[in-house]
Structure 1
Amino acid sequence: MAAGGRQSTRASLPAWIESRLEAERDQLPLWLPVGLAAGIGSWFLLPFREHWIAALCGALSAFIGGWALGRTTRTGRAAMWLAAAFALGIALIWLRAVSIDVGTLDRPVVETFVAQIEAVEELPAREAVRLTVVRPSGENLPDRFRVNVAAEDAPAGLRPGTWVQMSARLMPPPEAGVPGAYDFARRAWFDRLGATGRAFGDIEIVRADGERGVGPAMAAARSRMADHIRSAVDGGAGGIAATLATGDRSGISEADAEAMRRSGLAHLLAISGLHVTAVIGVTMLIVLKLLALHPGWALRWPLVLIAAGVGALTGLAYTLFTGSQVPTVRACVAAMLILGGIALGREAITLRLVATGALVVLLFWPETLVGPSFQLSFAAVIAIVALHEQQWTKRLLSRRDEAWARKLGRFALGLFLTGLAVEIALMPIALYHFNKAGLYGALANIVAIPLTTFIVIPLEALALLLDIIGLGAPVWWLVERALGGVLGLAHFVSNAPGAVALLPAMAIGSFLLIVAGGLWLCLWKTPWRRWGLVAVVAGGLSVFLAGSPDVYVTGDGRHVAVRAASGDLALLRPRAGDYVRDMLNETAGTEALATDLADLPAAWCNGDSCRWTMWRGGRQWRIFATRSSYYLPIEAMRSECAAADIVVSDRRLPATCTPRWLKIDRDMLRETGGVSIDLDRASVETVRTPGEDHPWRRVQ
């Protein structure tokens, strides 16, 4: 009987899965972009070519096996198409990466060269101009790279197509300084940037012929409009007003940008779904009301269809004008699908719409998957749509005949619930990428979203129209007051106690567990969707229970940060620049000003080296690090190494230096990049795996 019971259990499990998938058959297509994303993400996570081939072959084998054995069942077909999407994701991103020929600079250089400007980006908040240049005259320079020019050194007439001569210090695109920090080298590879740098001295315009074509003309018009708006609206409000109209964020000061991030309002600065929807919605409303003024047109013409068409054209024009960034393209694709659904008389705002938009973006720009922009925008949309597809939400927030005060309260409740859902969805992504997340964003968005959508954007459009006849000044004053309110709210919320949650760099396993649980919860409809909460809770607990690294070593070996008993950082070189300090603080999840390592009670330092002890994992660790360019006597160095558990240096240490556990020197860091060490677990994490085959790693 026991054997029969086990056989019945084995037989019932596939039948139970089949019944679950049959009940969820309408939701199964939503998992196609998830499978595609899983393949793309696997390629980024797996370090070696052999791993990519094995994953690709495994997925193809699963597809063939599902085709041969399970295509008559819903389980088999689902597994088959999921495997196909996974394999396609690996193939897409692999082909995309190897098709790029960046020609990355292999070492820092100082060069004088002639090059053609491809793009000009004004950075008034930094008092600089960013130039993307191509076809430089230097033999060993990459074909395309980016240079920052001090605003005082930038001559008039810098525009796309212009040939300039300049001197600049160039360096390879930097990889993450320590594990968990921002990896610009990966982004630069897909952006086709072979170097970054800063110009110095005079810049001479060699030939001032501007580049012709739609793209340069659009860029020039965008720059002129941004300058015009900033001249009409003073202060930080002007920078945000220019961003809303053109996508140009260069006029926003770092203080304002940080306040927007901490308050959960940073999404207002990225041209995406909110802005595209507002532009299309306002256009449709105006067109519909104007056409309805004529009784004959209202009776004979399909006014909704006409308004949707005009709105679609406006949305496309807005997307092109603001630079066709991936979030904007994603939002435009979604908007076109919504308008198509309106034209067909069908409900358009569904999770299938979101899945279609994700498929389009991943098929054309697979590398965007690992960036925060893609993850934040789609997580927000999925959370909003999934929330409003729930029956209890529909009952609670559906329109009804009631007093205006109750309508207003219901509208405010809807905004709060939507903001809360978005905050919950975005928090793990923000913590993973930025090590911080706003806690009061749901409350701030109740005010900021309606203010921006229904007041600022329409007023800004009206002001631009009135500027044609010189009457826009009063409306720009209203825009300035409204955006001043948004900025004031952002600074108030960001400075509130406990406004921001800070955590050290999150492990990729914990992040993927939370994401998988969130997708399971949002994409299914039947009760088994609640199992997603188990994965979310497990991932969240693993984040809070995970140990924090005790020692950080940057990729050049010059900077060492130690987590003191208070949780704050102490630096080996206290004169480290702001960039290094900010990067280490952000990765460690602390905002406190880093102190000098020499000030720790258990540290002894001189001008050339430091030694200190730390109690972790039930034992004492002794660490020794060099901190100057002077070499220590060989016998003294050998003695220090023998007495230490860990030795760190930015130079190549001699073979006679044999610490008890770990030697981190120039030779090791050349293979691993930056290092973080968790002494409680005696574990080491590195920026890259030695011998890694990703193309942006091979050029480091």
Structure 2
Amino acid sequence: MATRAARRDILPPAAPGGAALQHGPWNSARRLSRGLAAVERFLGDAGFDRMPWLAVAFGAGIAVWFALPAPGYWLALMVACGGLSAGFAAALGSYGRYPYLRLSGIVVPLVVAAGCGSVWARSHFVGAAPIAAPGVATLTGTVLAVETQPAQARSRLVLATREPGGERAIRVRINLADAIGSADGLHAGQVVRFRARLMPPAPPMLPGAYNFARTAWFKGLAATGTALEAPKIVDEGGAAPWLGSASRRISSHIREQLEHRQAGIAAALATGDVGGIVGADAQAMRDAGLAHLLSISGLHVSAVIGAVYFVSLRLLALWPWLALRVRLPVVGAGFGAFAGVGYTLLTGAQVPTVRSCIGALLVLMALALGREPLSLRMLAVAAFLVMLLWPEAVAGPSFQMSFAAVLAIIALSGAGPVRRFLTPREEGLGVRALRHLALVLLTGFVIEFALMPIGLYHFHRAGIYGAFANVVAIPLTTLVIMPSVLCGLLLDLVSMGAPAWWIAGHAIAGLNGLAHWVASRPGAVTVIPAMAGTAFALFIGGGLWFGLWSGKVRWFGLAPAVLGAVLVATARPPDLLISGDGRHVGLLSKEADALFVLRPSRSDFVRDNLVEIAGMSGTPTSLVSLPGADCNRDTCVITLTRGERDWQLLLTRSRDAVPERALAAACERVDLVISDRWLPRSCRPRWLKVDRRLLQHTGGLAIDLANARVSSVADSEGRHGWWRGAEDRQPSRPAVSASASAAP
């Protein structure tokens, strides 16, 4: 007590409020510590798993690279991520705990930057600038790949050659029609010469359409074209690659054993050769939700690996000496891995197949180690490996659908009600079978629900009865068709494969009949206009939130998904669709519920693009038959009522010379002029002039007259390599906006 009194006498008196000032920083630090602890506790309770979220961050960096328009934006993103990480590191430097916060604040931004940098680097190193212009040339090149497509009566060659008129080494893809020549004697390694018509890889025809130019860029293709004569072999080169020739021989043998339509599907399952599938059958499979059966994916690789694993395990167990001394699951996993890798190589080692093989090998590794075979961490490791090797796959539907389906299965299997539903109990065999059938149906519905936004975004259509169809189609494919095709191939070595081929033929016919029946049901297919990227991002974000969290917090993922659904439901299709060359114009008439086109085309590609982007079904109608259209040989003048006003449109139909004075007078009387030619400067419509001069910078256009809004292909392509091509194209938005602002 005396010591305390003496100390009080020695210390100077405290100023008013001095205690509060002395403890202010300490209180602030304590409040910050409590806040950090609360966030850390939330992350721990919600099941924050590091590896899945790091995979999501890496994929997000790749996706943002595709979304941002120019290198300056990509560099700014990476710098911002680095600054954010450094800021978190400085803020959390005095707090030694909080591992979840450290990961999310320091590591995640760096992984986002790494994802952006990886796809940028791959684009730089593998991208091939397209040829400058279309033309006809004599090509001499080395065959890299040969793909037969009997359903289209053609073959497809990939050549390494020189750019016509230049010294640049390029890779081209050439279609060789059966009427021109046969590819039977061609194989990789040969040097061939022939004349061909070449053109740069086609950009999207319309905003939201398929972007073949981007696909070709990452495949290193500088041109595509059509052979004008049969290739002449200049040099035989070495022997044909064993795997490629074996795959072609197997496909050819299957076509000899089965009817044409059945053989195409059987060859696709055995070797990945989808060139023999009839177009109507392929479309029916897509509309029925069975398209995944036609491309070698996780289902096929898993079926092969699972069958080899199960059979080898059973056979090895018959050898007591080995069973007592060796862990048979490890040996069985080795046989399964060998079969999976061999099947992947035999089917061409395409990116989806390699991705599926990686996932299956990770499952085998987990089984061999006694770990959980299907988990978020396993899925994240597989996704990381794929994105490191092929970061561009993130933008494609195959990658998105594959991992979305597996994520949906993992999330469903980990849900408490499902676990309780599958808890073993005393019951009869029939009741147990019904319970498992109910789970299969539920899984199918969940997968279809998860994949529908992806299908609608990329293909603008999706089947809604796929859950029911897959209940029959998946067991039929994995338990009957694939084993019978394999048995037929093996038994044909001793000329005894006829029974197996009979079973395979009837099973494939049943699968094909099921696809056509389901696709023809009323309401089997949902068709929408091109989905906005914002709505798709909301769907993806909501799905990832729902799949990666655990507990009640996962239900917050429904909010962005519902908002995305609202945006899709309220989206208006464009009034006008204009192709990048200006030749093809589609006008959507809400009054007639039909799509009218300026020039009817024999091309399925043109027709399908117009119909899909407009969100219509059926066959387009000629614009001449539109009520109120005033058309002659050279032009069409149309009046449309949109947005509480009348719009006058002038569309050119021919390329005949028109007096400039008459054309200028006609342009002054309309709001919008659309032409596939270069129009003179004297043509000045009241709102917008769409001619070859504008379209060479913007690409295809989608015009919403009610809101006076113009969307172009260039808006979504920015300054990525596949869009710039031989010239540095500028984004279209400034020019279009300037025109749009003049709308009365």
> Once the 2 structures are TM-superposed, how far is the Cα of residue 202 of structure 1 from its aligned partner?
3.4
* CA deviation profile, 1:307-357 (whole Å, cap 9, x unmatched): 111111111111111111122111111111111111111112101111111
**1:671–1:690: 8 Å Cα contact kept in structure 2?**
no
Q: Which of 60-69 and 541-550 deviates more?
A: 60-69
**2:103 counterpart (62, 77, 81):** 77
**2:142–2:189: 8 Å Cα contact kept in structure 1?**
yes
**2:175 counterpart (137, 145, 148):** 148
Counterpart position of 1:597: 623
Counterpart position of 2:501: 476
Amino acid at match of 2:298: G
> Once the 2 structures are TM-superposed, how far is the Cα of residue 432 of structure 1 from its aligned partner?
0.3
1:396 counterpart = 2:421: yes
Superposed counterparts of 1:43-82, under 5 Å: 43-70=65-92, 72=95, 73=98, 74-82=100-108
> Once the 2 structures are TM-superposed, how far is the Cα of residue 242 of structure 1 from its aligned partner?
1.0
1:159 counterpart = 2:181: no
- 2:526 match: secondary structure: strand
Counterpart position of 1:204: 232
- 2:471 match: secondary structure: helix
Where do 5+ consecutive residues of structure 2 fail to align? 1-27, 727-744
**1:67–1:77: 8 Å Cα contact kept in structure 2?**
no
Counterpart position of 2:554: 529
> Once the 2 structures are TM-superposed, how far is the Cα of residue 625 of structure 1 from its aligned partner?
1.3
Counterpart position of 1:189: 217
- 1:402 match: secondary structure: coil
Where do 5+ consecutive residues of structure 1 fail to align? 1-6
**1:144–1:193: 8 Å Cα contact kept in structure 2?**
yes
Change (3 A) 1:13 1:634: farther
Q: Which of 654-663 and 361-370 deviates more?
A: 654-663
Counterpart position of 1:169: 197
1:115 counterpart = 2:125: no
1:674 counterpart = 2:700: yes
Counterpart position of 1:663: 689
Change (3 A) 1:242 1:250: same
Superposed counterparts of 1:343-354, under 5 Å: 343-354=368-379
**1:514–1:535: 8 Å Cα contact kept in structure 2?**
yes
- 2:59 match: secondary structure: helix
Superposed counterparts of 1:527-606, under 5 Å: 527-565=552-590, 566-575=592-601, 577-606=603-632
> Once the 2 structures are TM-superposed, how far is the Cα of residue 575 of structure 1 from its aligned partner?
4.1
Superposed counterparts of 1:213-228, under 5 Å: 216-228=241-253
**2:258 counterpart (233, 239, 244):** 233
Counterpart position of 2:16: none
**2:129–2:721: 8 Å Cα contact kept in structure 1?**
no
**1:129–1:150: 8 Å Cα contact kept in structure 2?**
yes
Amino acid at match of 1:170: L
> Once the 2 structures are TM-superposed, how far is the Cα of residue 203 of structure 1 from its aligned partner?
2.8
Counterpart position of 2:532: 507
* CA deviation profile, 1:563-604 (whole Å, cap 9, x unmatched): 012332101112453321111111112122111112111211
- 2:228 match: secondary structure: strand
- 1:249 match: secondary structure: coil
**2:573–2:615: 8 Å Cα contact kept in structure 1?**
no
Change (3 A) 1:571 1:12: farther
Counterpart position of 1:17: 39
> Once the 2 structures are TM-superposed, how far is the Cα of residue 468 of structure 1 from its aligned partner?
1.8
Amino acid at match of 1:349: L
CA distance in 2 between partners of 1:38 and 1:597 (Å): 43
Counterpart position of 1:3: none
> Once the 2 structures are TM-superposed, how far is the Cα of residue 48 of structure 1 from its aligned partner?
1.4
CA distance in 2 between partners of 1:424 and 1:353 (Å): 23
**2:163–2:170: 8 Å Cα contact kept in structure 1?**
no
> Once the 2 structures are TM-superposed, how far is the Cα of residue 679 of structure 1 from its aligned partner?
1.4
CA distance in 1 between partners of 2:449 and 2:120 (Å): 33
Counterpart position of 2:670: 644
CA distance in 1 between partners of 2:260 and 2:427 (Å): 43
* CA deviation profile, 1:155-198 (whole Å, cap 9, x unmatched): 44111112222111111100001101111000000011111111
> Once the 2 structures are TM-superposed, how far is the Cα of residue 527 of structure 1 from its aligned partner?
1.0
Amino acid at match of 2:470: N
Q: When the two structures are superposed, what TM-score results if normalisation uses the length of structure 2?
A: 0.90
* CA deviation profile, 1:664-690 (whole Å, cap 9, x unmatched): 111111111000011122111000149
Change (3 A) 1:691 1:286: closer
CA distance in 2 between partners of 1:17 and 1:137 (Å): 59
**1:92 counterpart (112, 118, 123):** 118
1:125 counterpart = 2:151: yes
CA distance in 2 between partners of 1:109 and 1:168 (Å): 9
**2:47–2:550: 8 Å Cα contact kept in structure 1?**
no
> Once the 2 structures are TM-superposed, how far is the Cα of residue 506 of structure 1 from its aligned partner?
0.2
1:458 counterpart = 2:483: yes
Q: Which of 244-253 and 403-412 deviates more?
A: 403-412
**1:159–1:210: 8 Å Cα contact kept in structure 2?**
no
* CA deviation profile, 1:226-277 (whole Å, cap 9, x unmatched): 1112222223221111111111111111111001100000001111111111
1:608 counterpart = 2:629: no
Counterpart position of 1:285: 310
Counterpart position of 1:42: 64
Q: Which of 669-678 and 321-330 deviates more?
A: 321-330
> Once the 2 structures are TM-superposed, how far is the Cα of residue 101 of structure 1 from its aligned partner?
5.0
**1:671–1:689: 8 Å Cα contact kept in structure 2?**
no
Amino acid at match of 2:147: E
CA distance in 2 between partners of 1:204 and 1:10 (Å): 76
Amino acid at match of 1:410: R
Counterpart position of 1:33: 55
> Once the 2 structures are TM-superposed, how far is the Cα of residue 398 of structure 1 from its aligned partner?
4.3
**1:695 counterpart (718, 721, 740):** 721
Counterpart position of 1:309: 334
Amino acid at match of 1:47: P
Change (3 A) 1:315 1:400: farther
Change (3 A) 1:416 1:101: closer
Amino acid at match of 1:153: I
Q: Which of 378-387 and 460-469 deviates more?
A: 460-469
CA distance in 1 between partners of 2:541 and 2:683 (Å): 46
CA distance in 1 between partners of 2:477 and 2:716 (Å): 48
**2:321 counterpart (296, 299, 307):** 296
| Structure whose CA Rg is larger | 2
- 1:423 match: secondary structure: helix
Q: Percent identity?
A: 43
How many correspondences in the alignment? 692
> Once the 2 structures are TM-superposed, how far is the Cα of residue 540 of structure 1 from its aligned partner?
0.6
**2:129–2:722: 8 Å Cα contact kept in structure 1?**
no
**2:181–2:229: 8 Å Cα contact kept in structure 1?**
no
Q: Which of 275-284 and 685-694 deviates more?
A: 685-694
**2:127–2:218: 8 Å Cα contact kept in structure 1?**
no
CA distance in 2 between partners of 1:20 and 1:64 (Å): 23
CA distance in 2 between partners of 1:432 and 1:420 (Å): 19
> Once the 2 structures are TM-superposed, how far is the Cα of residue 490 of structure 1 from its aligned partner?
0.4
Amino acid at match of 1:466: L
CA distance in 2 between partners of 1:346 and 1:358 (Å): 19
CA distance in 2 between partners of 1:681 and 1:104 (Å): 36
> Once the 2 structures are TM-superposed, how far is the Cα of residue 16 of structure 1 from its aligned partner?
4.3
CA distance in 1 between partners of 2:311 and 2:503 (Å): 20
CA distance in 1 between partners of 2:60 and 2:644 (Å): 40
